[in-house]
Structure 1
Amino acid sequence: MQIKILQLTEGAKVAKGTTVIIDVLRAFTTACYAINQGIETIIPVGDINMAYQLKKQHPNYLLVGERHERKPEGFDFGNSPTHINAAKISAKTMIHTTSSGTQGISNATQASEILTGSFVNAGAIVQYIQKTRPSEVSLVCMGFACQYPTNEDTFCAEYIKNELEGKPNDFRAMVKRIKETDGARFFDPANQSWSPESDFHLCMDVNRFDFVLKVDKIGNLNYLRQLKI
């Protein structure tokens, strides 16, 4: 099994084989909590205008996401696992658009299959790959708004790669480093309304969920659905 760690949109474009699009803070952590709250299908879209259009066509769908980390006008929720986790959700379908993670899905056109990646279901991702035994695995780190690599996404890719290769992981050290760098913004009092500190802790709750989220493409739309491991 050949395992590559790739970065940003450029990495997504060249990813092949089983491709894991990683966005720890916060898109694909939020997606897992949404599934846990009763959402059955997530429609990840890169274009915010398409997200608005889908919401207009399906008012009963939940509209979730961010631009510049904040909830866009008219959205039901921002990209916060805290807010999703605390909500009573009756919708079964969620439209999700973000600055990083959903962009990766849109650009991974050469992948044979696409999973989403975060720490909260990293163990399930490892188990899925071990069961399916693909010859090629691409771990794509989407970074901050697809602009530059971040520790949390790169560490998540390294964590998955190490588990697949039987190498040890020092997860506590990873969390400490993330908190000191890219995760520091979650501890800024000025950001608490849209990026609460609790988001950081929920995103670092490694192996909380026992499922993967796999992309199915139907027509011109991608659909994320849960596969229990």
Structure 2
Amino acid sequence: MDARFLGTAELVETPSAAVVVDVMRAFTVAAWAFARGAEKIVLAASLDEALALKEDHPEWVALKDGPPAPGFDAVNSPGLLRSADLGGRTVVQKTTAGTVGALAVKDAPLVLCAGFVVAEATAELLRARGCDSVTYVVTGEDGRADEDLACAQYIARRAAWDGEAVAGEYLRRAGASRAAEELAQGVREGAHPDDVALCLELDRFPFAMVAAVEDSLMVLRPYA
């Protein structure tokens, strides 16, 4: 299985299969949203689009990066979202990196969104689909975020049935990343003290997350 690791800005062609990785925190949050009962997640291109969708659908739950803001129901924090009741709800998510990366590959035949919490389920789905070539979109820090690259490399090795892919070294890299340090030090607003630990829970959830265009919107759904 051929694997490429690119930042969002480096994408120059539509891949046949894409895994968009945002460990801290967009797709860890997305996985928690599904675990808390969300039916689907709409990935918004801008804050204005997220607010417009919320206005059109008041029953939807809108979340964003950073501190709480008028019009939004939640922030992009797994620690703050894990107690939410999202049964049957639609979530609108807009983040700085993760949602941007997913929208950049929206025309790909297969788009998966991932973090460590769904790593094995993501690798299993890639194997099941028989993907010969996969582009891993490293969303954080313009493609240089080590937590995202570590997760992408781990999933790639698991997807290739590499028995030597020991998770510990990849999790250590993620835990020592700039994003982890900033979250631990409280530099980033809209965070919870447990966010880093929750983002590093390997295979917490048994589903992958597949994104596809539905009625002109990029929609993320769990895939067991």
Same fold (TM over 0.5): yes
Deviations 1:114-136 (A, max 9, x none): 11011000100111011110222
The match for 1:163 is 158
Matched, 1:173 2:172: no
Task: Report the Cα distance in structure 2 between the residues aligned to 1:23 and 1:95, rounded to whole angstroms.
Answer: 16
Match of 2:210 among 190, 193, 214: 214
**Match of residue 7 from structure 2:** 7
Which sections of structure 2, spanning at least 5 residues, go unmatched?
none
**Where in structure 1 are there 5+ consecutive unaligned residues?**
none
- RMSD of equivalent CA atoms: 1.8
Q: Distance in 2 between matches of 1:135 and 1:207?
A: 23
Change (3 A) 1:206 1:212: same
**1:163-193 CA deviation, whole Å, 9 max, x = no partner?**
12333234323333333332111221565x6
Q: Does 1:204 align with 2:200?
A: yes
Contact in 1 for aligned 2:20/2:101 (Cα 8 Å): yes
Contact 1:71 1:79 survives alignment (8 Å): no
Match of 2:70 in 1: 73
Task: State the alpha-carbon separation in 1 of the partners of residues 187 and 18 from structure 2.
Answer: 36
Quote how far apart the aligned CAs of 1:20 are. 0.7
Offset of 1:10 from its aligned partner?
Answer: 2.5
Residues 6, 139 of structure 1: 8 Å contact kept: yes
The equivalent of 2:133 in structure 1 is: 136
**1:178–1:2 distance in 2 versus 1, CA, 3 Å:** closer
* 1:1-229 pair list within 5 angstroms: 1-11=1-11, 13-66=12-65, 69-90=66-87, 92-144=89-141, 147-167=142-162, 168-182=164-178, 183-189=180-186, 191=188, 194-228=190-224
In structure 1, what is the Cα distance between the partners aligned to 2:78 and 2:72? 15
TM-score by length of 2: 0.91
Q: How many correspondences in the alignment?
A: 222
Percent of aligned positions that are identical: 26
Give the whole-Å Cα distance in 1 for the aligned partners of 2:131 and 2:67: 37
Residues 56-80 of structure 1: CA distance to partner in whole angstroms, max 9, x if unpaired?
00000000121xx334332111000
The answer as to whether partners of 1:20 and 1:114 remain within 8 angstroms in 2 is yes
Write the deviation string for residues 68-123 of structure 1: whole angstroms up to 9, x where unpaired: x3343321110001111022334511101100011012111452211101100010
SS at match of 1:39: coil
Cα deviations across residues 23-52 of structure 1 (Å, max 9, x unaligned)? 010000100000000101110112111100
Cα distance in 1 for partners of 2:167, 2:98 equals: 22
